[in-house]
Structure 1
Amino acid sequence: MQAVVLAAGKGTRLRPLTEDKPKGLVEIDGEPILTHCFEQLVDLGATELIVVVGYLKEQIIDHYGDAYEGVPITYCHQREQKGLAHALLTVEEHVDDDFMLILGDNIFQANLEDVVRRQQEDRADAAFLVEDVPWEEASRYGVCETNKFGEVTDVVEKPADPPSNLVMTGFYTFSPAIFHACQLVQPSNRGEYEISEAIDLLIQSGRTIDAIGLEGWRIDVGYPEDRDEAERRLQEGEDTDEDATLEYASD
């Protein structure tokens, strides 16, 4: 399965960390955010990394070149940052079949493999991780409404008055049907073409959509304090692994 990584944004909320580098190259626990994304996609079996770049794109291209751990990289340029659906359309000509999508400013320690498996088993046109967040944070994300069976019936991007606190995270799998949906998306009140609206169009047209509950954790690195929290959690995970190794070795 090919993997698309969206990494074109300016990261204005991350300043001063992004004053002289793109958000994807901000380091967390000694590695750029994009490296963490690439590692997970390669572990999931990605056959190609298609990276959407924009702001200071030359730094990303120079850093990674044409391959990562033997997996080829294709770069697509989003000339104007007009939203995630707009960014996704820049890769359409390079995608052959179902594909993974990760937002290049998210750090995951979670069940990403469940999303890939469910999408393939159900032949779904979209599958994605969802999680409950504090109500006061829900307006930062694409918010999901569900019916009594727990099925997602509607998705609203960054609503001022969220209908729930169940939100989409930054990892998805899609069939090529998502591209037609993206072409139908109209600019939101923010003037952007939202991926949540494209997914909502798939839902309203009766397409199969899978929402999988997050197991583990993820952090959307939008602010400097998010970067610090992600680093803390990754380092705690390393400490736990080291402790387990030492305990096992002493038995």
Structure 2
Amino acid sequence: MDAVIPAAGRGSRLGELTADRPKGLVGVAGRPLLAHVFETAVDAGADALVVIVGYEAAQIVDRFGDVFEGTPITYVHQRERLGLGHAVLQAEPHVDGTFLLVNGDNVFAGSVEPAVAAVREADAALAVEEVSPEVATTTGVIETDGAGRVTGLVEKPADPSSRLVTTGCYVLPEDVFHACALLRPSAEGEYQLSEAVGLLVRAGYEVETVRLGERVNVNTPEDVEQASELVRGESGTGS
């Protein structure tokens, strides 16, 4: 299975930490953030990494080269950062079949393999977590039936009907590329992956939700510290 890793952003909220480097090279527990993401993907069964790069891309290429722990890497340049749906679409020529997507700024405490396993019984899977109603208004929320299958996705609802949100880990069919190509830009000029997944749901694709362990979405210096603690905690338990 291919793994797509969007890692084109600068990470402006990280301040001085990204003044001279891309977000993916910020240190987390003594290793670049992307090293943890790559490891998560490989441990879940990925046999090829497709990395979407942008800001200071050459630094990422120089740091990791063409292979990570025996797994080949292909780099794709996202020249304009126009949202996750746009980033995913850049990977289309390099992906064959159902693929794993792990955002390049997410550090997971445990394995994301349960999301990969879920597509044995469904067409796609989204790793989810529950957030406060306030947070739900700032992101895409997921509506499900009683069995955990996705029935709809709503981007930044004023009155959330659900508190479930994605965690930056998806297992998606190739058809999501066609859905991404159909997207229209949001008011902010971005193409939202959640809307592409919503198109699949409306077309009859079965999309499963999966709850994973703890994770940190690295956006601020405080998140870097939290992610480092998470990684060290996992190492200490021998997981």
For Structure 1 versus Structure 2, the TM-score category normalised by the shorter chain is over 0.9
Contact 2:11 2:22 in 1 (8 A): yes
Contact 2:109 2:234 in 1 (8 A): no
Structure 1 partner of 2:229: 232
**CA RMSD in angstroms, aligned pairs only:** 1.6
Change (3 A) 1:34 1:140: farther
Q: Note the 1:34-183 alignment, pairs <5 A.
A: 34-119=34-119, 121-124=120-123, 126-183=124-181
Structure 1 residue 138 displacement after superposition: 2.3
Question: SS state of the match for residue 87, structure 2?
Answer: helix
TM (norm. structure 1) is 0.90
Distance 2:209 2:62 in 1: 36
Count the aligned residue pairs: 239
Structure 1 residue 136 displacement after superposition: 2.5
Structure 1 residue 129 displacement after superposition: 0.6
TM (norm. structure 2) is 0.94
Q: Note the 1:145-224 alignment, pairs <5 A.
A: 145-214=143-212, 216-224=213-221
Q: Unaligned regions of 5+ residues in structure 1, if any?
A: 243-251
Q: Give % identity.
A: 49
Please identify, of 137-146 and 192-201, the stretch whose mean Cα deviation from structure 2 is larger: 137-146
Question: SS state of the match for residue 17, structure 2?
Answer: coil
Structure 1 residue 44 displacement after superposition: 1.8
Structure 2 partner of 1:246: none
Distance 1:136 1:111 in 2: 28
Structure 1 residue 78 displacement after superposition: 0.2
Structure 1 residue 222 displacement after superposition: 1.4
Change (3 A) 1:150 1:238: closer
Structure 1 residue 149 displacement after superposition: 4.3
Change (3 A) 1:180 1:116: same
Please identify, of 58-67 and 182-191, the stretch whose mean Cα deviation from structure 2 is larger: 182-191
Structure 2 partner of 1:247: none
Q: Unaligned regions of 5+ residues in structure 2, if any?
A: none
Distance 1:9 1:38 in 2: 16
Contact 2:40 2:111 in 1 (8 A): no
Distance 1:40 1:149 in 2: 27
Please identify, of 144-153 and 92-101, the stretch whose mean Cα deviation from structure 2 is larger: 144-153
Query: 1:12 aligned to 2:9?
Result: no
Please identify, of 38-47 and 199-208, the stretch whose mean Cα deviation from structure 2 is larger: 38-47
Which structure has the larger Rg over C-alpha atoms?
Answer: 1
Residue identity opposite 1:122 in structure 2: E
Change (3 A) 1:224 1:157: farther
Residue identity opposite 2:157 in structure 1: P
Distance 1:101 1:33 in 2: 16
Structure 1 partner of 2:22: 22
